[in-house]
Amino acid sequence: MNPYEAYMKEIAQPMRDELTNAGFTELTTPEEVDAFISEKKGSSLVVINSVCGCAAGLARPSARESLNNEKRPDHLVTVFAGQDREATTRMREYLEGYEPSSPSMALMKDGQVLHFIPREEIEDYEVEEIVANLTNAYNEYC
């Protein structure tokens, strides 16, 4: 690992911890993504994490807060754009039909996307609006 990569990994660790401490499993390799998609049945919230301000102030807090809903996904996973590039690229292959954006969130069931929230529906929105977007999807699909 070069010094830049080491620095970025250190800087991003609290951003990773914010989701893993809330119960998300981090997928860091394409093989982990493939195994998750093929093995996990039921509903899953996938958060494509990033270092940007809208991830810090909106996406991660919204993802965490949405879990207080009565209905919630069976599985919680995250990949980190710009950090775990290969894992993020592989996850985006499963998000067929959706432009890559980070941060973003997908509600999936048995590997199929049921609901997708791109960066455009995170940036410039309030946490409460994003939580409502997620919980409405949970209530419909979970």
| Structural contact between residues 99 and 118, judged by C-beta atoms closer than 8 angstroms | yes
Instruction: Assess whether pLDDT exceeds 90 at residue 5.
Output: no
Active-site residue identified among 33, 37, 46, 52: 52
Tell the residue number behind the tokens 């509903």, with chain if given: 43
Catalytic residue among 8, 12, 51, 54: 54
Query: Prior bond to 3 cis, omega within 30?
Result: no
Q: How far apart are CA 142 and CA 140, in angstroms?
A: 6
What pLDDT, on a 0 to 100 scale, did the predictor assign at position 4? 86
d(CA 12, CA 26) in angstroms, rounded, equals: 13
How far is the first Cα of the chain from the last one, in angstroms, to the nearest whole number? Answer: 40
Domains and CATH numbers, the chain: 25-141 (3.40.30.10)
Active site residue 142: no
pTM: 0.95
Condensed to tens digits (0 to 9), the pLDDT of residues 47-68 reads: 999 998 899 999 999 999 999 9
Confidence check: pLDDT of 105 > 90: yes
Rounded Cα distance, 54 and 111, in Å: 26
